[in-house]
């Protein structure tokens, strides 16, 4: 897991270089089709990357984006009318039976289908009209890291060819490299949480998907019961679970989500909770029990990939602090097949 976390800047650079021209052609084609709906279908970490993709694509393109419920197709055999839709399957392996079933059904319903995968010869790549590859090499870790950020990168690249908001995604590999320089400090912080059994992970907007991803990483590698919320939703009931020394991890970049994060941190301080913020904002850092400092010049729209890196490191080092092997989580396999 730690090795593959370290490979991410190279993977991102390689993916940009290899896929950029293909994406320009796909963007030209989709603009001609006058698409009015995008549907994303995924499970696990890929679903968390898709949650980020939903926010990014809706904000940058103005096209409504839906996260598909595969069971609608696989258990209830529903038939969708998708003639003006793009349906995007997102899967590291490309072998998720339910994801592939949805893509097949979507094609029958008239959709244009895309696959985002790490495996060029996978079933999903052969099913889809076009395939966007993550050039990550083989991912051995059960806990996905480099393919998660590779999937997120493809949403950046896709939004740049069909949207109107220019995002300098080519800067992301450099910021990701800088995030890896935090290894020693994150390892030290993880020791403090060695006995943590429960926590909440909070993120909003562009980092909402990251809150789901870190919670998943903590559950699968550290066996921590981790709930995840938007900072806005957390006030609507879940705040009641917080008591003295209860741990809350926040993805808290500078930007439009700052106000709600500060409101939450002030409330957590009143409750004597333990807050750990991944942030590039000095005010947020000062209100947090602990913080992991990110570059001040990192724009909110570019923050999700660099911000997940210290979170991935935190999960890996916390597992070790607990005497667990993050590369051998109990009861799990690399490829999960469900219908």
Which residue from 53, 33, 30 is spatially nearest to 41, judged by alpha carbons? 53
Question: Exposure of 72 by Cβ count < 10 A (0-12 exposed, 13-18 middle, 19+ buried)?
Answer: middle
- pLDDT: is 221 or 31 the higher one? 221
- Where residue 4 falls among pLDDT bands split at 50, 70, 90? very high
pLDDT of res. 339:
63
d(CA 157, CA 160): 5
Residue 245 gets the label, from left (phi > 0), alpha (psi -120 to 50) or beta, of left
- Of 167, 202, 221, the residue that ends a domain is 167
Q: What is the mean pLDDT of the segment spanning 98-108?
A: 94
- Where residue 86 falls among pLDDT bands split at 50, 70, 90? very high
Residue 175 forms part of a structural domain = no
Q: Are residues 158 and 40 in the same domain?
A: yes
Q: Are residues 93 and 226 in the same domain?
A: no
Phi/psi for 101 (5° steps) reads -60, -40
Q: Are residues 304 and 209 in the same domain?
A: yes
Q: Is the pLDDT of residue 107 over 90?
A: yes
Q: Is the pLDDT of residue 305 over 60?
A: yes
Residue 157 forms part of a structural domain = yes
CATH number reported for the structural domain that contains residue 191 in this entry: 3.40.50.10490
Q: Are residues 213 and 275 in the same domain?
A: yes
Which residue from 50, 159, 51, 39 is spatially nearest to 109, judged by alpha carbons? 39
pLDDT of res. 243:
84
- Of 167, 189, 216, the residue that ends a domain is 167
pLDDT tens digit sequence for 46-61 = 999 999 999 999 999 9
Residue 162 forms part of a structural domain = yes
Residue 22 forms part of a structural domain = yes
pLDDT of res. 247:
95
Letter string b/e over residues 14-31, b meaning 16 or more CB atoms within 10 A of that residue's CB: bbbeebeeebeebbeebe
- pLDDT: is 163 or 250 the higher one? 250
Q: Are residues 113 and 254 in the same domain?
A: no
Q: Are residues 163 and 191 in the same domain?
A: no
Domain carrying residue 33: 2-167
pLDDT tens digit sequence for 128-146 = 999 999 999 998 988 999 9
pLDDT of res. 190:
98
pLDDT of res. 322:
97
72 token code pair: 């609608």
Q: Are residues 215 and 314 in the same domain?
A: yes
pLDDT tens digit sequence for 220-273 = 999 999 999 988 887 677 777 788 889 999 999 999 999 999 999 999 999 999
pLDDT of res. 64:
97
- pLDDT: is 101 or 338 the higher one? 101
228 token code pair: 């995840």
Residue 326 forms part of a structural domain = no
Q: Are residues 8 and 152 in the same domain?
A: yes
pLDDT of res. 331:
65
pTM: 0.94
Q: What is the mean pLDDT of the segment spanning 102-119?
A: 95
Q: Are residues 150 and 188 in the same domain?
A: no
Q: Is the pLDDT of residue 3 over 90?
A: yes
- Where residue 332 falls among pLDDT bands split at 50, 70, 90? low
- Of 120, 140, 167, the residue that ends a domain is 167
pLDDT of res. 33:
87
C-alpha separations of 311 from 41, 292, 294 in Å: 24, 9, 12
Q: Are residues 127 and 41 in the same domain?
A: yes
Count: domains in the chain: 2
* Average pLDDT, rounded, for the chain: 94
Q: Are residues 148 and 188 in the same domain?
A: no
C-alpha separations of 98 from 2, 28, 45, 218 in Å: 30, 29, 15, 25
- Where residue 300 falls among pLDDT bands split at 50, 70, 90? very high
Residue 234 forms part of a structural domain = yes
Residue 155 forms part of a structural domain = yes
d(CA 42, CA 50): 7
Q: Are residues 148 and 217 in the same domain?
A: no
3-state secondary structure of 237: coil
């Amino acid at each position: 897991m730690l090795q593959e976390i370290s490979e991410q800047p190279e993977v991102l650079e390689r993916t940009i270089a290899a896929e950029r021209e293909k994406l320009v052609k796909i963007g030209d084609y989709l603009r001609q089709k006058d698409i009015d709906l995008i549907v994303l279908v995924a499970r696990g970490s890929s679903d968390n990357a898709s949650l980020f993709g939903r926010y990014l694509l809706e904000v940058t393109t103005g096209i409504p984006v839906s996260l598909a419920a595969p069971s609608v197709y696989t258990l209830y055999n529903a038939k969708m009318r998708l003639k003006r839709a793009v349906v995007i399957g997102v899967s590291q392996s490309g072998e998720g039976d339910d994801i592939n079933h949805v893509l097949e059904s979507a094609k029958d319903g008239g959709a244009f289908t895309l696959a985002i995968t790490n495996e060029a010869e996978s079933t999903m790549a052969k099913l889809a009209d076009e395939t966007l590859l993550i050039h990550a090499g083989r991912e051995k870790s059960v806990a996905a890291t480099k393919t998660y950020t590779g999937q997120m990168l493809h949403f950046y690249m896709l939004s740049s060819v069909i949207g109107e908001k220019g995002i300098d995604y080519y800067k992301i590999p450099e910021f990701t490299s800088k995030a890896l320089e935090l290894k020693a400090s994150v390892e030290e912080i993880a020791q403090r949480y060695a006995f943590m059994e429960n926590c909440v992970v909070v993120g909003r907007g562009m980092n909402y998907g990251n809150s789901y991803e870190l919670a998943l990483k903590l559950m699968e590698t550290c066996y921590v019961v981790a709930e995840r919320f938007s900072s806005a939703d957390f006030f609507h009931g879940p705040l009641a679970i917080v008591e003295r020394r209860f741990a809350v991890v926040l993805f808290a970049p500078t930007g439009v989500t700052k106000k709600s994060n500060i409101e939450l941190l002030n409330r957590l301080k009143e409750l004597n909770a333990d807050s750990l913020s991944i942030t590039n904002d000095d005010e947020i850092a000062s209100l947090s029990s602990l913080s992991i400092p990110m570059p001040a010049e990192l724009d909110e729209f570019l923050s999700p990939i660099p911000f997940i890196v210290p979170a991935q490191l935190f999960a890996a080092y916390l597992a070790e602090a607990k005497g667990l092997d993050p590369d051998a989580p109990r009861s799990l396999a690399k490829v999960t097949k469900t219908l």
